[in-house]
Each structure stands twice: as structure tokens, then as C-alpha cells.
Structure 1
Amino acid sequence: MHEFSRRLIVRILLIALFSVIAIVAAKLLGGLIPFGLGDRIGADAVDHILSIIANSMLTVTTFSLTVMVASHRSVSSLWTPRAHQILLEDTTTHTVLATFVGAYLYAVITIILRETEVFKGEELVVLFFVTLLIVALIVLAIIRWISHLELLGSLIETASRTEERARNAYALRCDYPSLGGKPFNSAAIEDLTPVIADRTGYVQQIYQDLLQDAAEKADGEIHLAVQVGGFVHRGEVLGWVRGDCAEGLTRNVSIGSLRNYVQDPGFSILNLTEIAQRALSPGINDPGTAVDMTRRIARVLLGHEVAKGPREILHDRLYVPDLNRVDLMRESLGAIARAGTGHPEVVVALNGSLDVLSKHPDRQIVEGARILRDALGRAETRDPLDLSG
């Protein structure tokens, strides 16, 4: 429901519904207006304002949609196609466009009702003030939209949003390495029943509370074999269960064609990595952007650490693989190192970040930094950049 609520069409329908409610409220509240006040606010004033709203909002909405599509294409072509998903969930753009469309629908419906003389007398007074409220909302939306367009689709905003998603997901996985469950142990699945994936795609998200409920009802356990963000083929083992909770496993693990930002910090960090790799391509040759992305990734990794000591187990019947921070560093900073060894400024930034990461309290982060520093050292002596450790 949260993902569904962040779609553009949902906000448009909600604002359109509010517009209809405003029209109905204006009709019902007309009886509360003192008799004779309607003579001071003529029908011409209301009709003129409604006509302006109807004509202008159609133009503004069309222009705004054009800007939105152009920004999405720009982000996909200039930075990384994966960042397109962040723009699709841009609540500011959605709210502004929904306000424009809702105002247009309000004006059109009200004009139709005025032509059929549904509103008359004192009801026009209420309609007039409701229309003024709509005008105020339009002005606020336009101001917000202009402010938002200053950075929409730019590298600064795209990288900042991606870093924020990475920071939030990484903080979640540090606080709950197994997403509130117990760490997956391959030695504990010998006597369990394997559950086969019924579709091919990425493990986008797991719903821990529902998996826990399914295991409790069956008095069993659920052991998830694939990490969030991992790719699973139809027919491969998705996990193992004890008890009759196989259906609960397949139903409450989201598998789709695209990765998800919520529980998968590797996806956001992959976006930052791809921006850096694209900047280092011969056609663009922008090592400064690669340096910036390197430091953003380091900032994410330095921002949180896996808590030491006993873990807080929220779902005692659920077993989930921990986030592998060594692989995360190989796939991000390691990929930038492979593309940027010919750029001294990128190598300097990588060495600086790895020096700091090598002092991190997290053992996996320290191990990943060691592997990458050794690889960079071999690359500087013109040996192949081997990240196998």
C-alpha cells in the first residue's frame, strides 16, 4: 500500500476526489449563508475565475508533464537508468501535478454545474470562497514547482537523493543485519523442506512480520536462502521451511524485475557507482564526479556500523542472510577503482576513503578496505586489478 500510494495516478485521483467534495460542500453549505449576501457577489465573478482556472491549468499541466518526462530522460541518459526509479517516487512532483489536474477538474465540473444552474443565490457565495481557496492552492503549488525545478534531474539532486536512500537502507541493515530475524545458517537446513521460486527476478523486499506470522501459525521456521537484492530464477531454491509455511514464504517475499531501495542498500550504492563509472568513460572524462561518488559511498559506509553484542530478535522464527559488507565494497568502490586507476585524483580519493574505512569498527568493512587497498597497490605497479582477495 505504501508503494501504491507513491504513484502519480493515486495522488491525481485523490486531489480530484477532494475537488468533487469541495463542490458538494459548497452546495450543502449554501443554506448557511445569510439571505441577500449573494447579491454582493455576482455569478459573473465566479464564472470568470473558473474560466481562468480551466484555461490556465490545462496549459500548466501539459507543460509540467513535458518537463517531468524530459527530466526523467535526462537522468536516465546522463547519470544512470536505475536512478529513474527515484524520480518516479518524487512526491513533490506528484503533489504539484495532482494539484494542477485537480484544479482543472474542479473548474470544469463547476462550470458545467453553473451552466445547468445547479448553483444559484447564496450558494454562489460559498462557491466563490471555495474557488478562492483553490486559487491559493494553485499559487502555492506553482511556487513549490518553480523551486523544485531548480535542481530537478540535476547531478546534485540525483546523487543526494540516491545517497539518502542508501544511508537509510544501510542504517536499517546495520541496526537489523538479518532484518529482525536470526542470521541464516546453512548447517541448520539439512532436515528442512526446500521451497522453489515460482518466478524469476530480484528479491525486492521481504515482509518480516507476515513471514513470522506464517511460521507461528504452522509452528515452524522459515530460512530465506537469497539476500534482498539477490537474483533468483524460477525453479531455484528460494528458502527452506519447517512446518506447513511454504505458501507463506512465496507469498510474502516480493520478487520483481527491478530492485527496491527500502531494504537493499546495495542498489542505491550501485547507482552511485554507475554514475562514477559513466563519468570516467572516455567520452565524458569527468573524474571530479567519480571522486564525489567515491566520497558519498564512503560517507554511507562510515555513517553506521553493525551493533556488537547480542542482536535484538524481533522475528525468532525467521532466518535471513546478513548483508555482506565486503561484497558491497567490492561491487562499489572496487568497480570505481577498476575504471579510475588511470586518473590520479580518483586513486587519491579512493586511497583516502580506504584509509579511513580501514579503521572502521566493523570487521567486514576493514577486510573490504584491505582487499581494495591491496588491489590498488597492484594496479599502481601495472598488475591486473584483482579483487578476489
Structure 2
Amino acid sequence: MLPTFMRQLHAFSRRLIVRVLLIALCSVMAIAVAKIFGGLIPFGLKDRIGADAVDHILSIIANSMLTVTTFSLTVMVASHRNVSSLWTPRAHQILLQDTTTHTVLATFVGAYLYAVITIILRETQVFKGEELVVLFFVTLLVVVLIVVAIIRWISHLELLGSLIETSGRTEAKAQKAYDLRCENPTLGAQTYDPGALAGCQEMRAERSGYVQQIYQDRLQEAAEDAGGEIHLAVPVGAFVHQGEVIAHLRGEGLEEAVERFVSIGTLRNYVQDPGFSLLNLTEIAQRALSPGINDPGTAVDMVRRIVRVLLSNRVGAEHEVRYDRLYVPMLDREALVVETLGAVARNGMGHPEVTEALSGALKALDRQGDPEVEAAARRVQKAIEAAEPREVLDFSV
């Protein structure tokens, strides 16, 4: 698992505005490079490359990039709306982290800024003589980058916002988070035990929201400095209400650390919460099974994606403890099965193909090797067998 700083930096870098600013900065640096290295150009080469050639190319870039950027932003917004309305609103968060779209848009904006700034500097006679030669080759490099970005963008638009791409990205997020949690079911901490809280002080949530992720290394450091322990009472992905107990603390001054390094927000996060990605796949299946859409084939595909994730890994009997002063609830694998495949089963009882896909998936999970997953699979299978078509399933059997 990455340290806190690297995780925060990674999350920050996946924002569109960050990439736009970085590319814009590179465009300004390119102009500075052309100015600095102008004196190194051999005498006489400037006569072969006229100022008109540079000015003409810059004018084309400035005019075209503004149009292309506006068009691309329109396509991006339309794709985001389609994903939210057609598949599931939660999948919108995945598109917000689409690095290909971010890089392409940033390239277009950066090229536009480069052209505009350079045109202004040319009109004020900042570039002249041999400096124009360097400026010409830098401009050609910008043109090459634009061409590459356009090719990437055209290729990316083929699937942007489609069911195939959305479900594939969601499955990949679920796979990554599930592998992380199977290898670290308590995120590298010790297992939370409600019976071992004697002498601890309760800490209550100051606001309502989802536990998005926790920064284990910082919590461990705070507990070590205080000579105490932090027992988190709620797992990642859980919703906590204001005033609800979220942690039990043994030691002084740990409240600030929990408030800073247990992220609580209005939306769930994919990083440490495989249940969120699997819930997205479940919602796509449920929407496909609604009477207005009636698309059992999509539901079958989502069932197989869910089970593919759940079969890919399992929690071992032992796991490494790297944060011995931090206690975190174990990953609830039973809930992952019931809240995903069980939820699809509620809506798919009237569709034989969906029921058959569910039965095959549950049988596979029953042989998965994780006792908790196997028990959950048997629970859902018994509920399906005991229920009549379109009857509400009872998972308590």
C-alpha cells in the first residue's frame, strides 16, 4: 500500500484542471526554451526559415485548438450525462478520473495557450533572427503532439460512455480494490474487536458521510507518538451519522489524527472499498432488469463480472500486520455477496437466464475456498430456491 503522501498526490494528479495547468506550464517553458537556445543556431539558417512560416502555423493552431477544445468538452459532458442516465450515476466518478480524456484536453488547451502567447510575443518583436528557427521547430513539435492527441481522442471516443467501457472500468476498479483488501483485509492493521475496548474513549463523528478511506501510516504514527491505540469502529464504505461513534481511542490527543486521516465525505471512494465498484455493477444489472428496459443480457453480463472479481482472490487465514497500534474492521465478504448477487436476484427472479447465471455464479463461489464467501453464496442460493418467481427473497434462510 502506498504511503499517505503518494496516495494524496495520485488522487490530486487525476483531476482535469491539474493536467491542464501542467500542459500550460510546459507550453510556456517551450517558449522560454526557444528564446534561450536561439543563440546556438548557426548563422545563416534563419534565411531558410522565414518568419511568415512560423506565424502561419501559429495562427492555424490558435484558431483550430479553440474549436477542437470546445467540441471535446461538449463530447465529454455528453458522455458523462449518458453514463449517469443510462447505466448508474455512481459510475460518473470513474469518468472523472479518465486520464486519457484529461491528457487530450490538456494538450489541446496547452497548444492553444502556446500559440496565443507566441503570437503576442511575435507581434512585440520578442523573437527575431536565429530565435525564429528554434521557435519553428518547437512549433512543429507542438503540431506533432496535437496530431497524436487527436488520434488518441478519436480512438478513445469509440467506446467513451458505452456500456462496455463503463462496466469494464468499473470491474477493473473493483478488481484492484478487492485484491488490495484480500491481501490486507484489515488494511495492514490489527482486527477490530468490540470486546477489547476497556479503558478506551469514544470519539463521535462531527459530520455525516461515507468513510471514504483511511490513511493507516499517519494514524499509526499518531498512536505511536501518543503511546496509545486507535480502534476504528466503522469500516471503509460505511455511512456514519453525525454523533455516531466512529472510533475508540486509548491515549491522549488522538482525536485530531482520526479527524484528519479518516476521510469522511458525501461520496464513496473506489480505492479501499471494493463494495462500491461491485455496487455499481449491481446497479447496472438492476436497471437493465427494470420493466422499462427489460435487458436480461446486460444483467447476466454484470453477474459474471461480479463473480469474476469475487473468484479472483480470497482472504487467507493469516495476514501481515504493519500497523500494530491501529485496529480496523475486517472486510465483510459476506455482505459483498449478498448485497451484489443477492440484489440482482431480487430483480431477476422472473428471468430464467438471469437465475441460471446466478446459480452458476453461486456454485462457483461455493467452491472458492473462502469460508465467509462460501457461506454467503449458500445463503443466496437457498433464498433463490425457496422463493417463487418475482417473490421477495429471504436471505435469512
Give the TM-score band, short-chain normalised: over 0.9
Question: 1:380, CA displacement in angstroms?
Answer: 3.6
Aligned match for 2:210, one of 182, 202, 205:
202
Corresponding residue SS for 2:195: helix
Question: 1:190, CA displacement in angstroms?
Answer: 2.6
Corresponding residue SS for 1:365: helix
1:6 equivalent to 2:9? Answer: no
Question: d(CA) in 2 for partners of 1:82 and 1:376?
Answer: 28
Q: Equivalent residue for 1:26? A: 34
Q: Equivalent residue for 2:301? A: 292
Question: 1:251, CA displacement in angstroms?
Answer: 1.1
Q: Equivalent residue for 1:157? A: 165
Q: Which amino acid aligns with 1:101?
A: V
Question: 1:381, CA displacement in angstroms?
Answer: 7.0
Question: d(CA) in 2 for partners of 1:24 and 1:311?
Answer: 53
Q: Which amino acid aligns with 2:288?
A: A
Structure 1 unaligned segments of length 5 or more: list them: none
Structure 2 unaligned segments of length 5 or more: list them: 1-8
Q: Equivalent residue for 1:306? A: 315
Q: Equivalent residue for 1:76? A: 84
Question: d(CA) in 1 for partners of 2:199 and 2:394?
Answer: 39
Query: Residues 202-232 of structure 1: CA distance to partner in whole angstroms, max 9, x if unpaired?
Result: 0000000000000000011000011100001
Question: 1:49, CA displacement in angstroms?
Answer: 0.3
Q: Equivalent residue for 1:247? A: 256
Aligned match for 1:170, one of 171, 175, 178:
178
Aligned match for 1:142, one of 150, 155, 159:
150
Do 1:378 and 1:384's aligned partners in 2 also have CA atoms closer than 8 Å?
no
Aligned match for 2:197, one of 189, 202, 209:
189
Question: 1:384, CA displacement in angstroms?
Answer: 3.7
Question: d(CA) in 2 for partners of 1:317 and 1:232?
Answer: 23
Do 2:201 and 2:249's aligned partners in 1 also have CA atoms closer than 8 Å?
yes
Query: Residues 128-148 of structure 1: CA distance to partner in whole angstroms, max 9, x if unpaired?
Result: 000000000000000000000
Corresponding residue SS for 1:235: coil
Question: Structure 1 residues 31 and 383, CA, compared in 2 at 3 Å: closer, same or farther?
Answer: closer
Question: 1:183, CA displacement in angstroms?
Answer: 0.6
- The ranges of structure 1 where at least 4 consecutive aligned residues each deviate by more than 3 angstroms after the TM superposition are 380-384
Question: 1:250, CA displacement in angstroms?
Answer: 1.4
Corresponding residue SS for 2:324: coil
Query: Residues 152-196 of structure 1: CA distance to partner in whole angstroms, max 9, x if unpaired?
Result: 000000000000000000001100000000110000113201111
Question: 1:246, CA displacement in angstroms?
Answer: 1.9
Q: Equivalent residue for 2:350? A: 342
Q: Which amino acid aligns with 2:222?
A: A
Question: d(CA) in 1 for partners of 2:315 and 2:390?
Answer: 36
Q: Equivalent residue for 2:236? A: 228
* Structure 1 length-normalised TM: 0.98
Question: 1:69, CA displacement in angstroms?
Answer: 0.4
Aligned match for 1:118, one of 114, 126, 130:
126
- Provide the alpha-carbon RMSD of the alignment: 0.9
Question: 1:3, CA displacement in angstroms?
Answer: 1.4
Q: Equivalent residue for 2:5? A: none
Aligned match for 1:132, one of 135, 140, 145:
140
Superposition map of 1:316-331 within 5 A = 316-331=324-339
Do 1:203 and 1:254's aligned partners in 2 also have CA atoms closer than 8 Å?
yes
Question: 1:34, CA displacement in angstroms?
Answer: 1.2
Q: Which amino acid aligns with 1:116?
A: T
Corresponding residue SS for 1:188: coil
Q: Equivalent residue for 1:274? A: 283
Question: Structure 1 residues 382 and 114, CA, compared in 2 at 3 Å: closer, same or farther?
Answer: closer
Question: 1:383, CA displacement in angstroms?
Answer: 5.7
* Structure 2 length-normalised TM: 0.96
